[in-house]
Structure 1
Amino acid sequence: MRQFLKHFIKAAAFLSVLVALMLGGLYWYLTSSPLILNSYASAIEREFEKLAPGLEMHFANATLEWPKFFKPLRIRLKELKVYKKGDQKALAAEIPEMQLKFNLFHILEGRLWPSVMQIHRPELNMTYAPDQESSFLFASTSKEEFIGNLLDQFVNHADFASFLKKIEIIEGRVIVENLPEEFHFWQKQTVNLGLARGRHGYEGHVEIKGEDLSISGMMHFSPKEGRWKAELSFSQLPVANFISLLSNNYKDKLTGLTLLLSGTGDLTYSKKEGLENFQLSVESTSGQWDNLKIFEGPLPIDAFRFAGEFSNHQIRINTLTFTSKEAQGHLEGKIDLNRENKTAHVDVIGGVENVPIDDLKFLWPKGLAEVPRDWVTNNIKKAKVPAATLVLKSDVHYGDDQIKVDIKDLHGEIDILNARVRYLEKMPMVEGVNGKAWYDDKTFRIVVTSGTTFKQNIKNGEILITDLDVKDQNITIDLDVMGPFSEALQLLDHEPMGYAKSLGLLPAHCSGEGTTKLHLAFPLERKTTFKELKIESESRLTSVGLLNPISQVPATLQEGEFLLKVNNDKLSAEGKALINRLPAKITWQKNFDEALEIENTLTVESSIDSFGLAKLGFLLEDNLKGQAPLTLQYQSKGEKAHLSFKCNLEPVDLFILGIEKTRGLPGEFKAKIDFENGKPRYFKDLSLTAKDLLNVVASGSFDKSGKGFETVDFASFKLGKTEGKLHLKRNKMGVETVYFDGLVFDLEPILEYLEKSSQTTFDRPVDIRLRADQLYMGPHRLFHNSSIYLGYSQDKIRHLEGDLYLSAQAGNRLVKIRLKSNNDHQRSFELSTNHAGNFMSIMDWSENVRGGVLKIKASHDGPTTEPWQGTIKLKDFALIKAPLLGKLLTLAFPTGFMELFSDDGLRFNLFNANFQYTPEKLLIKDGRAAGTSLGISVSGLIYPKQGKLALQGNLIPAYFLNTLLNKIPLLGELLTGGKNEGLFAVSYSMSGDMVKPKISVNPLSVLTPGIIRKIFSTEDEDPQELQSSRK
């Protein structure tokens, strides 16, 4: 036994040495040059059929190589073609080179079972299928099925070719049919892939190389668990190549994203659960998102970084940041997926910083809070957004190629810096707005902390968009504004509101400061009509000034303090101010409802004085003393308006045409005026009352210009003693005609008023027709049944006809007054009466004249300052108890003239005189009075306004006899001194005060012939005017 073992060991050692020599020889041979195996082709092909049942293989060349001693043997097959078995026309694969690696002992045992299969430079034929869940599929023809089936069998069937431990694809070329141009990337890639069977599953690696990118990774597959694990790294990978792999649901949303990504990823996938986990971290340095369906325009991306996790049930965004121009953005959150129901629950938080508001439309995707997005991007300009945030929770339904979003929670904040905001179409934008916005799925709210518009400072405000979760949205705007009232009025007057224009206010005529609370509400549409706009505004105005707030009523408003309210129905203002310098309480309301009868209502409670009347065009500084309480109401609609006022006259002194109403006497002035087209047209119910002193009731109409009256009817005209009816009318030529018919007309106060008034002329022609039962020209100057016609034009009385009766009884006690114009310069005047004494007594000219026939004639040629020149004749009259004449006669004739003091008086047959008259002075020339007992001559000046006189003349006693010598030619003139002079006469003079003049006589002239008497006359007492008038 021992001997047997010894020989067995020797034999085994010999055999071992022999085998080693044989293997060494084989190794040397194979490492020196490959062993050509073409003669073993049939055996190799049979073994291949075990790897691909139903297929047969043919190759052009086969070699056996042994690179190193400890490396496996390998068979290299070139130009390999695979056909369907029995049909060499059905090519299943065409591979440039395949290497099969064998275990040495398997070969020694005669089994050609490769442990590793390497497929070199194959064409991986695929087809682009955008309608499928995965966009890329292996081609369905038999030519492409070999590699796909081989990989599928190797991974999914453990009993398939159990001897085969690893399959590698080296430098495979991807060829995709029907590939759009934008996905040309997949046509140019080289793929290296390796799959190896291990104790716990499959290990693998993949590498994809292109011109500008690289993708590599390691993977592990556990058949038992049915789970894939992979680790990937990539650089310069166009994101579009990821997008191309997605279904249309996501592809449309992400198309146009042109980032070059670099990063890493860890993936876990199981057949049971699908994608269990995919941790991805990527970054990019440049690119843009050019998808107009999502963004307003191209979104440039200067830097991008993403880190997140994906699984079959959830997508978690750990970090997503990007930089676009000056803006930075970030996002984080998660998306929970339910693939069975095809729903996803989104829960993300994001934000952006340093975004120009004009670029916000590029960063804010369309469809995300669409309404506030449109309003913000269209109405906020030139601003900076320091920060904006987003919190979004929503359920997304993505089945049937439709994506429906059900927002559960959406809110965020937007900081706004130095913005221009358009809050209403056509209205001016608000400049320099600073504030903050809050939004959610139902509302969008902006709080404004500062801003300006039309020089109005916005202290704070709020813009609120509501109903974002329904079809139609609404917006409300609340602003607290402070600034100049004139600019605020311009703002209210801006389209589409036009409030100032509708109120008739001119912003340029306004001053003051205001604080306004403005509330606007309207549907959030692209174009909002004024009817859809709801307005509420409340302004507190101070130091308000208005020039002619009502164009029809000239007035100046100052130092006003008002509360101004505006809404869609009305505008109202209430407050106090100074109107024409007097305190006033004012309420103003404008109705915007066209159905209402009244559009504007203005009520003023104030006072009026002479200054206020002057503003209205009545220069009555001397006619009104004090302040009269006034209540005024102005109402209008369209082109028609109505003004009514009531004035309490009790606290004032009132002077009307010489009639004085003293303070404390009750009185009232009221009227109603109708306006058309901004001009006064009619007035009615005008009344001026003051107990028994005044009672004027009138109505009338204005001319087309509205600056003057057309007709005025006084149903009652009582002014002092005057009582009757008065009618005023102005014709088309501008001539005003005044008709008065009544019981009494008192001219005395009117004459006194005209005498004192600074206005002595009228600016238009006037015709006055007056008839009165009683006509007063003074306290005792009463005429009866009088009628007067007066025509005035061009600053002159052109025509005058007056018939005045000195008694109410029938008879010829008539005074006729006539004035007429011969041309533009010449006027003539005539006055006559058969009852001179009565007339002169009434006129207060003299109480000492009885009877007589008076005739005065005068003419005027030239300017009104030139004197009237005329004559006066008085016949058959007597002088009774004339004090001045009596004193003169007493001085001249000591015996006196007793008949002067008798009841019959001193009678004269005639008095003649020439005169020149102006209101300042009366010049008498060649005045002669002749009677049986006495003759008087007179010449000189009388100053009515000064109450002075300077007269001289002669007294001729026994006038009839004394003047007989005058009839003797030449001798009579020498003896008497001239015509109407006497042989015996006394020279006299009067000067000084008219009531008590200085009277002097020349006693030497009593018996002096007339021619000599003139030498001794008292000429030194004649005034210079009298002397010059004699020349």
Structure 2
Amino acid sequence: MSDNHETSEDQSPPERDGDAQEKDGRTLRRSRRRRTGLVALLSFAVLLAGLGIAVFALVGRPVSAPPWLKAQIEERINAGSQSVEVAFGDISLVVEEGWRPRLVMRDVDFSDAEGRRLLTLSDVEGTLSARALIRGELRPARIWLDGAQVALRRDQDGRVGLSWGAEGEPQTSRAEARNFAELIDGADRFLVTPILSSLTSVEVDGLTMRYEDARARQAWTVDGGRVWLDRAGDDLTLRGDFALLTGQEFATTLEASYTSRIGDAAANFAVSFKDMPSDDIARQSGVLLWLETLRAPISGAMRASVDETGALGPVNATLQIGAGVLQPTDKTRPIPFQSVRSYFTYLPETQTMQVDEFAIDSAWGSARAEGQVVLGDMTNGWPDEFVSQLQIRELIANPNGLYETPVRFDAVTGDFRLRLDPFDLRLGEMVVSDRGHALHLSGRLRAEPEGWDVSLEGQMDGIAPDRLVQLWPPGAVPKTRAWVEANVLSGTLSNLQIGLKSRPESKPDIYLGFEFDEAETLFLNSMPPIRKARGHATLYQHQFTVRADAGEVRAEQGGVVDISGTSFVVEDVRKKPAPARITVNSNSTITAALSLLDRKPFRFLTKAGQPVTLADGRAVARGQIDLVLKKDLPADQVSYNITADLSKVRSTRLIPGRSFSAAVLDVAVDNRRLQIKGKGRVGKVPVTGSFTAPLGKPGARSEVRGTVELSQRFVDEFRIGLPRGTVSGAGRADVAIDLQKGKAGTFSMSSNLSGVGLRVPAIGWALGQKTRGTLKVSGRFTKPMQIDNVLLNAPGLKTSGRVELTPRGAFKSARFPRVRVGSWFDGPVALIGRGAKSPRVEVQGGRMDLSKTEIGAGSGSGATGSNAGAGGPISVKLDRLRISEGISLTGFRGEFSTAKGFDGTFSGRVNGAAPVTGVVAPRNGRSAFSIKSSDAGGVFKSAGLLTNARGGDFNLSLVPRGGKGSYDGLLKVRQVRLRDAPAMAELLNAISVVGLLEQFAGSGILFQEVEARFRLTPKQAIITKSSAVGASIGISMDGIYDLASGRMNMQGVVSPIYLINGIGAVFTRKGEGLIGFNYTLKGTAETPRVGVNPLSLFTPGMFREIFRRPPPKVSP
């Protein structure tokens, strides 16, 4: 080449003077340089020739350079580098086969221009460029380094610096850059320096490097590292492999590569690593920062590039994460996994990661996902959050081994946001597709200083009950899960709501809610299942609630029970056994409701000794049942309180032998008793009361307490057999019924008779509706029913006795050992049933006082109304029948009827002596009497009126008139003889009729006819007109006789020789003659006082009234 240059110069054309001189100067200088170079070249050629001879003899053997040559080499090397000074302790030359020289230097020191040592290498070997040697230049072609020590540091801003030197010695950084790419780019400028212009490769062995990363707040040491630098033309490749000292039980290796063109900022780099701790790699790049939450070895590779402007291009990464845990802090419970695999591409311009695959396998489950992640809020190259959208396929879950068999989901999509300081993973929305349904989830996983803070919410449109149980971890509220698994038999679940909140150092709080439809479920093991159920269930604050808005239970008897509104609540699912409460709401037939209540563990009806068919009607029940959830639950551990409204009730069992009905009844049942109360009817009789049955007490007595209407309806219903009209109005009676299993029930009834009218026409007794009394009835529910006692205590009537019924329950008899009617009757009375007819009344003794009664009250002749034909026969046997004061009938016997009022016949003896017979018939609402005797004298004597009357026929008619005990009487006596009567004797003595007096004292005076009209009252006999006539005397009399004292106040006329004198009776009264004596008679029959007016003898009969008072008058 030099020759060519010289030839060119010699053939150049001449130039102008100035220019020629300048050109001559340049030519002279070039000539000198040529001569100098030629000398150097010749010298180097001579040197090489000499050395060549020696080298030829020592091929393959190292030859140490002499000091002068060592100095020449150092000078030549340093002459090619303007900023670095090289010094070495020893240098030797080895000629390899093929005449390739290799330079070996020992203890090589690199210093800067100021003499500060930059780097010390124990061994440096290299080959020299033959072309450069020909040009007289020492330029390495290949270099081998061994024992290099460097320090690499990255500050908080990402700037990097490289320094050389042994650890512990002062180090001066000679290379700084904004990032690793720029640092490597700086090597380009170094490689284009003349001394390295021929370099094709550099190999570094035994590299020791200290890497300090201020951004990651970590430091690493690389020992035994190797680095290769290859240059082919302008193409530069940098490779290396390293072993990192991480302090782990496993070894970490790292391989890196870098390719670019010298002078071009664009470059490609790649790094691969094996078993690198996750926290070591996480802080190397913002895109890997999420790895710091893991504790696991990571293997993988990353490829990236930078363009001519230094901008980072797409980063492709492959991560293989070994077995480890997710544990952001030491306090958070680790979440283990077996492996994680990820393939993604990071796009710096959009700060997004395109995740081609993210796969995780662990004991908690496995998943395969893809999607993208956005790095948000970048600060100094570090993202504050990762926002991702992932599509998960092949999701198999078994967190913490919760499931015996892992659960599998069809597909999952989700939006996530991850913050790392502190760890905070927010789930915006996750949609899990499972068997045709979609589960929407949102939540948060946060690492607090004390541990995990977890919250999760979810909604699902629908799920099958068996699938719910499959997805429900067996260890999460296991009792509730077991209840759902065992009791929710079928149906459709919808609108599923789930929630989980778990704070550090506290137990999780779980929420679960779902709606169900067409479900079949059990609420108690002993009960039939609920069918066609629709409602909702919730698990909140450890309380599990199931409410049925609709549903039914089919009872064994009575049909379907509508349980809409019924709920089941487990108060605290954490307790074992868990307490539960069933809130009952039901609508059914009474029989169906009772059928359920008689199942285990309740047995309400069985305990009460009653059948489930106790009553017909409708039942609307509500209440609560408290129990604990365990098998074979004893009845005494079940607490219940249930009320019900019964409507349209009918029962033939509630009251034995009677039909009961009610429009509405209230029912209450608890552990102590079953109670039914309200208003109803026994037959047609209104009643109000309650039925109470003790529970849990074997042999305890059930009872009915209430009131019953006393009225004609009561008489008819209970077949008492009283005639129509006996009872009027309506009152109340208190009723008590006691029932005991295995024994005949008992009953009692009592009333004050207020509002009840009672009337017994046959005895003339009545009780007004406003008058009070006492009525008590008691008996037993035998077959037939027994009425053991009937007590009546009312004004005017007092009695007690018993009633006997026929085998068919009809009235048979009522026997009252003592009946007291006012003050006029006291004796035993029996009522004898006659089927549908009015009962027969039998009086078997006692006494009766007609003066104090209106016995026989009835319709009289031609009786009408409801009483007509209604009365029954009356048989009377009295010890004494008192007619009036001092007059009684003993041994009274009578047979009467009340069919047309009180009528019949009777017999007896007046005051126990003279026999009489009689007839009683209804008259004016009472009884009229007709009394006869064939011994009128005996009657008068027995009555205490005339002690010495003899013979004669007696005929007395008594017609009721006025008040009680008052009668209008008509007495007729025929052929009675009267003798030795004090009053009559006194009278005859007073008028000095000697013959009559002697006759009276002897055989007596015969009266052919005695007739008297009078008003008989309980206190006196008012004689309005009377006469006694015989052949020898005629007497008239009127006045008042006091029955109580026996005193009389009479007046009249005595007409002697009445056979002749009686002609004047035409002008006077019967018994009075034309001539007669007016008299007065006072005192008693034993001590009479007689007064005679002698002047009346001379007064004709028609004018005799002027000598006497008018006869007494009585009211019509």
TM-score w.r.t. structure 2 length? 0.44
Higher CA-based Rg: 2
TM-score w.r.t. structure 1 length? 0.47
